[in-house]
Structure 1
Amino acid sequence: MNNSLYIVRDTPDKGKGMFATQDIKRGTCIISEAPLVFVSPIVPKTMLALETMSKKNKKYLLSLSNIYSEDEMPNVMGIIKTNALPLGQDAEEGGVYRVISRINHSCASNVRHTWNSRMQKEYIHATEDIAAGDEIFTSYLATLMPRSERLKQLQEDFRFECRCKLCTAASSEDYDTTVTRINECSDLILKYASSNPRKSIGYVREVLALLDKAEIWGKTAFYYDGYQISAMYGNYELAQEWADLLLESHRLDEGEESDLYQRYLKYSMNPRSHERAGRGGYISLKGA
């Protein structure tokens, strides 16, 4: 099970995993894959999908890991609950994959997985340069968390103690302090976006500096904050700068085929095209 970029093979302690077969640059699409089966919160709908699967795909499904005992739930439902990924942020429906479901977790992940509704596929893009031979890791966690919270959620949801390089690093306390401040700033960006946009932009810049310092992935959302606030208050030159950063960051995260790329391209081509552009009147954000 391999192509020119990856191979799936056994790991010493995590079952199977995905490994780079050559150096992979940040932004590279490593794989795009349609689900073996779509999973619905409506159990009969999921059962019908299972009944109509081909024998080949059912064999692939049954070869995936299962963290649940037969006493807790039937084997196939345990496999689905262990391996399903949501079809986009906050989606109730999910998918289980032959290859992508083999990608193991690290709190210091090196890829991002995103659902493309138009293509009906999950895409995996490298969020940093990956060396040949390195394992490819995603994150099972949706948000930035301090170490104690990450360990607690991973144990509760996935039943393992994370031993990734981030959780075992001697500098984990410094990372926790940084993550806590990033989360505080995220709240403050929203709090002041309407009442004090200069202050809000200042928090955007602080977060970006913290992400750089700690080498944490996740700038795209904050580039969008910077763009949206600048456009809303009529700072279109500044909005152009943020829109260009947003577009390039999103391209590297999710590719030009993503659901959002065309919207961000529109903003980059015309920073006044945001639906809230100019609605806050004009407040200079120069130097903020």
Structure 2
Amino acid sequence: MSRPAAQTLRSLAIEALREPDLDEKRRLTRLAGERWAERTLGLSSPTDPTLPSRPGRPAKPDLVSPRSVPRRSVHTVEGRVAMIHALAHIELNAIDLALDIVARFCGQPVPRSFFDGWMMVATDEARHFGLLSDRLAGLGSHYGALPAHDGLWQAVEVTAHDLAARLAVVPLILEARGLDVTPSLLSKLNEVGDPETAAILEVIYNDEKRHVAVGAKWFRFLCARQRIDPARRFQELVRECFRGEVKAPFNDRARAEAGLTPTFYRSLSPLSQ
């Protein structure tokens, strides 16, 4: 049975955010992105559904503490399955993080191109999750077969009050971390003879540069509007809202290509103090 068409970007983003069936979540995300790009959706309406406190999820995987997540190693099939499962979990959260930015902050005085960027991110993340899910199936597994942790969604809760804080923590900390760790992981996967997984990570890595660039662009936009220094404001927000460590080593070149220069993050790393 088909769903009635949502009339606003916010309502369709919330519908996708709430959806527990992951194939349907991906479909709704793509639909929202396509209809927004075609300009057949309004932005929001007073009749939009309520934004959920948590995204829709299937019964599995079990959510556990980070210490209880299976060890990830590229040197065995079981280790690579655990690694791919962890990456799929990250990408699933990334779909919902992008949808939440769209739905939660649609009342902000920002250009429509802000939502163009974040719907591009959401549809990219949906594609990434599909690629990783297919790879798990190729290795005899599936998403939900292993436990996962809930740390990424905590970023929503601590930045729900402030768009600048959300941009600082999600794309400019969490997603930028992928730029740091992926190149060495690609090398290891090629060394152990897994070009299929390496090819997927290559796609994700290149897309992540664009995602960090979207975050950097709009973070700088908000700071320029308030006439404040973006690097200094970034550091203030990270210290206030981010519970983890900003870990070196950094992929300075990839970060700079995305608009995130060392003046933003170097002083936040324990190794730089």
TM-score by length of 1: 0.26
Of structures 1 and 2, the larger Rg is shown by: 1
TM-score by length of 2: 0.27
